Structure 1
Amino acid sequence: MERVTLGKDLSMSRIVYGMWRLAEDTDTSPAHVQAKIESCLAQGITTMDQADIYGGYMAEEVLGKALRGTDLRDQIEIVTKCDIVAPAGRHAAARVKYYDTSRAHITTSVDASLQLMGIDQIDVLLIHRPDPIMDHHETGAALDDLVASGKIRAVGVSNFRSWDMDLLQSAMKAPIVTNQIEISVLHHAPFTNGDIACLQQRGIAPMAWS
C-alpha cells in the first residue's frame, strides 16, 4: 500500500478505514472489530479515521475495547476529531448542535478520546468543522500545547475552506498537516472551488471523506 507523508516522521496509508458507522454495526464486539482491523492491515491499510461524535459519541469506545489487550495500536495510526457538540451521548443535554473550539472543550475532548480508546497519543487531531465564532488565538494555542504535551502528534482540520485554514494556522506554531474534505464522484467541487489548489500550493496532502 502506498504511503502518504503528512509531516515529519508521520505517514498514513493511501486508503483509510473510516469508522463513522463503527458503533452502528450489528456486531460491535471487540473480536469483530479486531477482525476488521486485521483485515485492513492485511491489505496495507493502517490508518483508522475516528471522531468523538461518531456513533453518538460511542465509536471511540468501541475501538478502544477492540484495541485493549492487543498489539494492534502499534500497527495503526489513529485520526480523530473534535468540536461538534450535538444532543447525543455525553452531550445529550445540549439543546442544539453547535461548534466549540474553545481551549477547555478541545482539551477535554482530547482527554476523553485518549481515555475511551485506551491510548497515550492521537496521531492526528482534526478540528471537525469551522467554528464561525472561533477565537483562532485561543484555539491555535490550545492545539500547540496539546502537541507539546505529547497528547497529539499532529494537527489537521476538516471541512475547512482555505481562509479558515489560514486563519487558524496564523495563530499556531505546529503546522496544519491535512484538511479532510468531502470528495467523491458525486461531490467534486473541491477540484473547481480552489480547495485542492490551495492544498497543492501549500504542499499539504488532503484527506477525502464521502
Structure 2
Amino acid sequence: MEKIQLAEGLQLSRVVHGMMRLNEWDLSKEERLTFFKEVMDLGITSFDHADIYGSYTCEELFGEAIALEPSLRSNMELISKCGIVLESKNRPEHESHHYNTSKEHIVKSVERSLKNLSTDYLDLLLIHRPDPLMNPEEVAQAFDELHRSGKVRHFGVSNFKRSQLSMLESYVSQPLVTNQIELNPFNLENFSDGTVELMQEKRLPSMAWSPLAGGDLLKGQSEKALRLRKALEEVGDELGTEEIDQVLYAWLYTHPSTILPIVGSGKMSRIKSAIKAKDYKMTPHQWFHIYQASLGHDVP
C-alpha cells in the first residue's frame, strides 16, 4: 500500500478506512479487532473518526477493540474531527445542533476522543466544518496547547473552502496539512470552485469523503445518475472491470492533486476494491468521459 506524506512525521495510507458507520456493523469487540487487523494486513493503517460518528459512539467502539491489543496503536494513524455539536441521548447537555470551535470545546473534545479511542495522542485532528462564529485566535490557542501537551501531533480542516482555509491558516502556528472534502464525479463543486486547486497550490493532499457519492452513483435513478453510471460502465469495460466502485476510485486516483479516498465500508470486498482500483490507469479521454457525463454537456 502506497504511503502519502502529509507532513514531516505524518504519512497516511493512500486508502483511509472510515469509521462513520462502525456502530451499524453489529460486531463484537473481538470481531472488530479481527476486522481492523485484516484491514491493516492489506496495508491500510489510517483510520478516520469524528467525535459525532454514530451519535458519539463509534470512537468508543473502536477503542474497545484496540484496547484488546494495544500494540496495534503504534502501527496505525488515528484521525479525528471536532467542532460539530449534535443533539443526542449520549450528550444530554447539548441543547441544539450547531458548531462550536472555541478553545474549550476543541480541547475537551480531543480529551474525550483520546479516552474513547484508548490512546494518548491523535496523529491528526481536523476542524469538522467551517464555523461562522469561529474565533481563529482561539483555534490557534487550542492547537498550540494540544500540540505542546503531545495530545495531537498534526492538524487540518474538513469541508473548508479556499477563503476559509486561508483565513485560519493565517492565524495558526501549527501547519494545516490536509482538507477533508467531498470528492466524486457526482458532485464536482470542490473541483470547480478552487478548493482542489488551493490544495495543489499548497502541495497538500486532500482526503475524499463520500468517494462513491453516498450510493447515488451506484443505485440512483435520476437522469444525472443514470447518465454517469452509463459512462462509468463504458470506462469500466475499457479498463477491464465490471465494478463501478473501482472506476470511481480510479477516477480519483488519476487526478494529479493526490487524493486519499475514505472507504467507510465494513465489507472486506469493498475495501479490497478500493485498493485494486489503484492498478487501473485512466486516460484523459476516459477521465473526461466521466467528467462530462456529470456536467451533462461537453467541456468548452
Q: Normalised by the size of structure 2, how large is the TM-score?
A: 0.68
The equivalent of 1:4 in structure 2 is 4
Structure 1 residue 93: deviation in Å?
3.7
Partner of residue 99, structure 1: 99
Structure 1 residues 118 and 67, CA gap change in structure 2 (3 angstroms): same
Task: After TM superposition, give the deviation of residue 69 of structure 1 in Å.
Answer: 3.1
> Are 1:200 and 2:200 matched, yes or no?
yes
Q: Distance in 2 between matches of 1:14 and 1:79?
A: 14
- Alpha-carbon distance in 2 for matches of 1:145, 1:166: 21
Q: How does 1:34-113 map to 2 (within 5 A)?
A: 34-70=33-69, 71-113=71-113
User: What letter corresponds to residue 112 of structure 2 in structure 1?
Assistant: A
Richer in strand (by share): 1
CA distance in 1, matches of 2:39, 2:124: 19
In 2, Cα distance between the equivalents of 1:121 and 1:93? Answer: 26
User: What is the TM-score with the length of structure 1 in the denominator?
Assistant: 0.96
Distance 2:137 2:174 in 1: 13
Q: CA deviation at 1:89?
A: 4.2
The amino acid across from 1:163 in the alignment is: S
Paired AA for residue 82 in structure 2: C
Q: Supply the AA of the counterpart residue of 1:135.
A: N
SS in 2 for 1:41: helix
User: 2 CA distance for matches of 1:160 and 1:91?
Assistant: 26
Q: Would you say how many aligned residue pairs link Structure 1 and Structure 2?
A: 209
Alpha-carbon distance in structure 2 between the residues aligned to 1:89 and 1:172? 34
What is the aligned-residue identity percentage? 40
Contact 2:47 / 2:78 at 8 angstroms: preserved in 1? yes
Q: Larger Cα Rg: Structure 1 or Structure 2?
A: 2
Q: Out of 181-190 and 146-155, give the one that drifted further.
A: 181-190
Code of the aligned partner of 1:15: V
- 5+ residue gaps in structure 1? none
CA contact (8 A) 1:19 1:50 kept: yes
Q: Is the 8 A contact 1:5 1:11 kept in 2?
A: yes
Q: SS of the residue aligned with 2:108?
A: helix
Deviation at 1:55, TM superposition (A): 0.5
Q: SS at 1:152's partner residue? A: coil
Listed one character per residue, the Cα deviations across residues 108-155 of structure 1 (whole Å, up to 9, x for unaligned) are: 001000111110100000000011010011111111221111100100
Report the Cα distance in structure 2 between the residues aligned to 1:94 and 1:147, rounded to whole angstroms. 27
Structure-2 separation of matches of 1:59 and 1:207: 20
Question: Do the aligned partners of 1:140 and 1:169 also contact (CA within 8 Å) in 2?
Answer: no
Aligned letter for 1:39? E
How far apart are 1:171 and its partner, in Å? 1.1
Cα deviation code 1:13-33 (max 9, x no counterpart): 000000000012222x21111
Q: Mark the runs of 5 or more structure 2 residues left unpaired by the alignment.
A: 211-300
Give the letter aligned to residue 11 of structure 1: Q
Give the Å deviation of 1:192.
Answer: 1.3
Over the aligned positions, Cα root-mean-square deviation in angstroms equals 1.1
1-structure distance, mates of 2:2, 2:188: 23
What corresponds to 2:131 in structure 1? 131
Aligned: 1:18 with 2:18: yes
Alignment partner of 1:143 is 2:143: yes
SS in 2 for 1:153: coil
Runs of at least 4 residues of structure 1 off by over 6 A? Answer: none
**Superposed displacement of residue 197, structure 1:** 0.2
Instruction: Write the distance in 2 (CA, Å) between the matches of 1:121 and 1:24.
Output: 26
Alpha-carbon distance, 1:73 to partner? 0.9
